[in-house]
Chain A
Amino acid sequence: MGAGVAVFDSDGDGLQDILFTGAPPEGPRLYRRTAGGTYLAATRAAGLVSAGYGMGVALGDIDNDGDLDVYFTHVGPDQLYRNDGEGTFSDITPASGIVADGWSSSAAFCDVDADGLLDLYVGSYVRADSDTRCTTPGGVPDYCPPNVYPGASDRLYRNLGGGVFEDIGVSSGIANTSSSALGVVCHDFNLDDRADVFVANDGAANHLWINQGDGSFAERGIEIGVAANLFGEFEAGMGIALADLNDDLRMDLFLTHVDRESNTLYLSGPNEVMLDATIRSNLGWMSLPMTGFGTAFLDFDLDGDLDLAIANGRVRRPTRTLEAAASFESTYGEENLLLANDGNGRFEKDCDANPFCADRSVGRGLLAADLDRDGDLDLVVANANGRARVYENRAPRMGNWLAVRSLIGARDAIGGVVQLQIGERRLVRPIVHSRSYLSSRDATVHFGIGEATQIGALVVRWPSGDREAFAVPGINRHLVLVRGEGLPP
């Protein structure tokens, strides 16, 4: 089911390093980017050695010191590492109060109680046992679907400061239900200035936990429309991409699923409803034969519209065959998908001569990040039982760009959004770390702005709901915005 990936500056040198989760005996692998664009193995030197069976990784600055700390989810006890600031990490799990010893999947840091400290949501998969055996209806042994196992409750930990967390799963209501979480994103979905949590569950109703502001959460997936797809099917939710595709300043959700289910796009509509817009966007039909995991919205050609990347890789045998047994990769590997947005919210495959699509690996975690700081977004894919891949973006550029990091003090303004006005259009990007499938990256937001050369306005809506406008000194550059240094919009 693994593995996840993180992209962040682990040692404060301004370059994007890559951290892959892994299983024993290798464990996680940290690769530091050098000024020359190559990567050096640095796991041991960084102290990120772990004996756990790795699933995902979540980044978050738990102590507001300006560097990103690391949380590993495992099949078995999870681990929290504090970044000591100069490229080394310390395992602070024992003193942190975090005891997550089931099968954790995606996790996300966000400030659910608005106290200025990032709390931690940990998705739990199922309580699997090795006794259960499964076959296809035709009797072929196969991996078990999640619903043959009892579900597990997700966890929520409140950050008390000093690297100590309190388990508030039960009091918040989160742990009073069990399911099969795989993807987790944290964002203020209903624009009430509180961090909500969306959880993609595997083969069960997705959960949209709406923050009530009193320490509790209410699950509203069904009435908001994201629990099941239009056909009433609880799909095998895996990865999540979050973006405002229809320019209404509210976030939309894209979810990847197993083969024979389509991927699903939920677009925000009236009265906080999210409507299944998969058919209209052309994202469903082409995905039916594939099993999607990691995914990201990115404007890869900088034309001003968000495109979509999906890492695919099967979990169940494609079909039995009378031919000789094939390798793991040829049995489970699938091509990835790069889908270009036609500007009207309809997506078409854009895979011609593209090695990202052509590699038939067993794709899992995926991130889009500007690894080489050249202004366009590159792709990193963690594959199951195979080599990871880093794809440099060499697509013809159709326009200009802007990358923005928004800080509250030294920490990224997780839970806020950055809004850019270009002519009549308002582009919005969420400030989040955790995304995709089991993956997390630094919270810089990226805008392709097409042929525009002028920015009308750049506004940050901070997690508290306050808004602040910032001057834009020019385009095609990385900006760092700090709360309190702008002007009222």
Chain B
Amino acid sequence: MRGLFPALFVVALRSQAADMEPQVAARIATARAAVAESPAAGETWGELAMVLQAHELQNEAYEIYLEAMQRAPADYRWPYLAALTGRPPDAALELLAKAHARGPDDVSLTLNFAGALTRAGELNQARGVYMKARDTESSREHAQLGLARIMLLQGQVVDALELLEVSWLGTSLNADLYRLLAQARRLVGHAAGARRAAWRARSYGPGRRRVSDVVDQMRGHGVSVGALLDRGRRLSDRGEHQGARALFEAASRWDTSGEAEIDLGQVVLAQGRPREALAHFQAVLEQAPDNPDLQVGLADAWLQLGDETAAESALAAALGRRSDHPGARRALGRLRNRQERFQDAIEHLEMALATEPTRYLAYADLADAFSGLESFREALEARRKLAILAPDQLSNLKSLVRLEIGRDELGAATKTLRQIHERQPEELWSAFNLAMLLATSTPVSEADAVQSLNLALELYRARRHDAACADLLGAAYAVNGRFGDATRVALRARELAKGDAALSAAIEDHLAHYAQQQRVTVPRLR
């Protein structure tokens, strides 16, 4: 073993001596045993390296990645991850180049490689990589920004400006875009425009950064308390509460600080189980009575249980410890929303956002407060900001659609519905409303008409006894010029809608339209 695999031998020898959490040592030993069993497989070496890297054992991980690269020369993950083990910049770039040659379709790797080339001053090569990345939907915006940066570096200010002026609203890159735009505008002497862009850059704050699937996979091997908490918090931040809960539960088995228990309480709370959450929080109350996060958790739990007095008291304790604690301010904002003291709520929520711009979920509460004051424009703005900063928050996107529809911004609502549908195609509410808006919009493109029909057909197949779905299918046939089919399904809808006067009246109206070879233009949304 020693002679054949010196790197593996080093890991074995050192992990016996190192002072590490027992579950980490056990995880390393398991991965090492897998290598010993299948030493020719690149995958087992790569797995071992990922286990080491997930626990910050970078040098050891690097040595093992080299072994994995030898045995699996086509697998791009190993050079990619090896590049992230703290190598000197030139060596890291070389590894990224190797990884990109093996896996040119990995979006994160491609953008990472192009960024590294730019930093290394290899601007023409970087430009080539960005140009290719521009062809892929998911990397287009990053690539555009990368190209604009290279243009600025090469003194092509006007070209950069042209690229930056293209509206990309709706991406998490907004703050970056506006910062660069501010500078480019100022460079060409457009001071007022620069100031406007700077203001927008400030107002957006940092968006959620793209995380590579490969890096996520590597981190997934982490079993130390810190690694479990870190991963759990990332998942929780993305709204994946069940996964986060499993990780916090695993961490709590080893954690002696009480942190895991607090996180567990918070995620259980997010799953709508306040009593269970309360138990988790109370379990560590004696251990960390002054911890403001714990007090905020308690307050949230009391709030969900309807005990506003207990919630107030816990928040007072948290704010007594730190008067601008963003979590406490957000919780207080929610409490005031519940008490219909919307103006107070806005004050607390804005303070939470100003203190910690990354706590952007507070925008949802802020939108609720504005809605409570019937300031729907401001509510819409808050929801839009959240949609940009955390595009994976589907509940926010749905609320945004409702506000957009309420304000008759049907084009914007269609765009938001597309966002939801792309992320969650099986979700019926958004599919129905998207199909309906596409079928009834004016003007309508051929592609939209076809998409509305496809969506309506899917919905109709799934819910054959739903009168609204049959009515939708009729509208979708009509927008595609198939009035005979439209009439046929509208008659079926009329049958199904018996007893629902409003829907029946609408279907009659639609049948009249179809008889005159006219499509429906007034959407009946859910």
Q: Which residues of A contact B (CB under 8 A)?
A: 129, 131, 133, 135-141, 147, 150-151, 220, 222-225, 227-228, 230-232, 234, 262, 269-273, 275, 279-280, 282, 284-286, 288-289, 317-324
Contacts and interface: CB of A to CB of B under 8 A. Distances in A.
15 contacts: A131-B288, A136-B56, A138-B54, A138-B224, A139-B222, A140-B226, A222-B182, A273-B187, A280-B121, A288-B89, A288-B119, A319-B56, A321-B57, A321-B59, A322-B57
Interface string B12-40: 00110110010000000000000000000
Contact of A271 (B15, B189, B322): B189
Given A133-B259, A280-B153, A285 B187 contact: no
B54 A232 contact: no
A139 B230 contact: yes
Contacts of B153: 230, 279-280
A141 B194 CA distance: 42
- The residue among A139, A141, A228, A275 with the most chain B CB atoms within 10 A of its own CB is A139
Contact of A135 (B145, B202, B230): B230
B120 to A, nearest CB: 6
Given A138-B54, A150-B322, A285 B121 contact: yes
Nearest to B224: A139
A319 B59 contact: yes
Contacts of A280: 121, 153
Interface string B219-233: 100101111111000
B186 to A, nearest CB: 5
A139 B55 contact: yes
Given A139-B230, A280-B121, A319-B86, A228 B179 contact: yes
B195 A322 contact: no
A137 B230 contact: yes
Interface in B153-199: 153, 175-176, 179-180, 182-183, 185-189, 191, 194-195, 197-198
A422 to B, nearest CB: 28
B324 A150 contact: yes
Given A140-B55, A318-B86, 12 more contacts: A137-B56, A138-B55, A138-B226, A222-B183, A223-B197, A230-B149, A232-B179, A232-B180, A273-B183, A284-B119, A319-B85, A322-B17
Contacts, number: 148
A39 B68 CA distance: 57
| A interface: dominant SS | loop
Given A129-B322, A289-B88, A323-B14, A140 B56 contact: yes
A11 B119 CA distance: 48
Interface in B322-362: 322, 324, 355-356, 358
B202 A222 contact: yes
- The residue among A151, A232, A275 with the most chain B CB atoms within 10 A of its own CB is A232
A275 B186 CA distance: 11
B291 interface: yes
B183 to A, nearest CB: 4
A225 B153 CA distance: 13
Nearest to B251: A139
Nearest to A272: B186
A318 to B, nearest CB: 7
A139 B186 contact: no
A140 B202 CA distance: 33
| B interface: dominant SS | helix
Contacts of B58: 319-320
A321 B89 CA distance: 20
Given A136-B226, A139-B224, A222-B179, A271 B186 contact: yes
Contacts of B115: 231
Nearest to A279: B121
Contacts of B227: 137-139
B509 interface: no
A319 B194 CA distance: 41
A323 B57 CA distance: 10
Interface of B: 11, 14-15, 17-18, 21, 53-60, 85-86, 88-90, 115, 118-121, 123, 145, 149, 152-153, 175-176, 179-180, 182-183, 185-189, 191, 194-195, 197-198, 201-202, 206, 219, 222, 224-230, 257, 259, 288, 290-291, 322, 324, 355-356, 358
5 closest pairs, A vs B, by CB? A139-B226, A322-B14, A139-B224, A138-B56, A135-B226
Nearest to B184: A273
A324 to B, nearest CB: 7
B187 A139 contact: no
Contacts of A270: 187, 189
A273 B53 CA distance: 41
Contact of A225 (B18, B59, B183): B183
Contacts of B187: 269-271, 273, 275
A273 B186 contact: yes
B481 to A, nearest CB: 48
A16 B88 CA distance: 39
A289 B182 CA distance: 30
Contact of B175 (A129, A131, A223, A232): A232
A317 B58 CA distance: 11
B291 A131 contact: yes
B32 to A, nearest CB: 12
A319 B85 CA distance: 9
Given A138-B226, A232-B175, A320 B202 contact: no
A323 B176 CA distance: 41
Contacts of A273: 183, 186-187
A137 B219 contact: yes
A141 B224 CA distance: 11
Contacts of B15: 322
A320 B121 CA distance: 31
Contact of A141 (B54, B186, B226): B226
Contacts of B185: 223
A279 B189 CA distance: 24
Nearest to A129: B322
A323 B118 CA distance: 35
A275 B189 CA distance: 14
B178 to A, nearest CB: 8
Contacts of B54: 138
A275 B151 CA distance: 12
A222 B180 CA distance: 8
A389 B85 CA distance: 32
Given A150-B355, A320-B56, A324-B17, A224 B186 contact: yes
B291 A139 contact: no
A272 B188 CA distance: 11
Nearest to B175: A232
A272 B201 CA distance: 19
A322 B9 CA distance: 13
Contacts of A131: 288, 290-291
Given A150-B322, A279-B121, A223 B226 contact: no
Contacts of A138: 53-57, 222, 224, 226-227
Contacts of A224: 183, 186
A216 B179 CA distance: 24
Contacts of B189: 270-271
A322 B60 contact: yes
Contacts of B219: 137
A82 to B, nearest CB: 35
- The residue among A137, A227, A270 with the most chain B CB atoms within 10 A of its own CB is A137
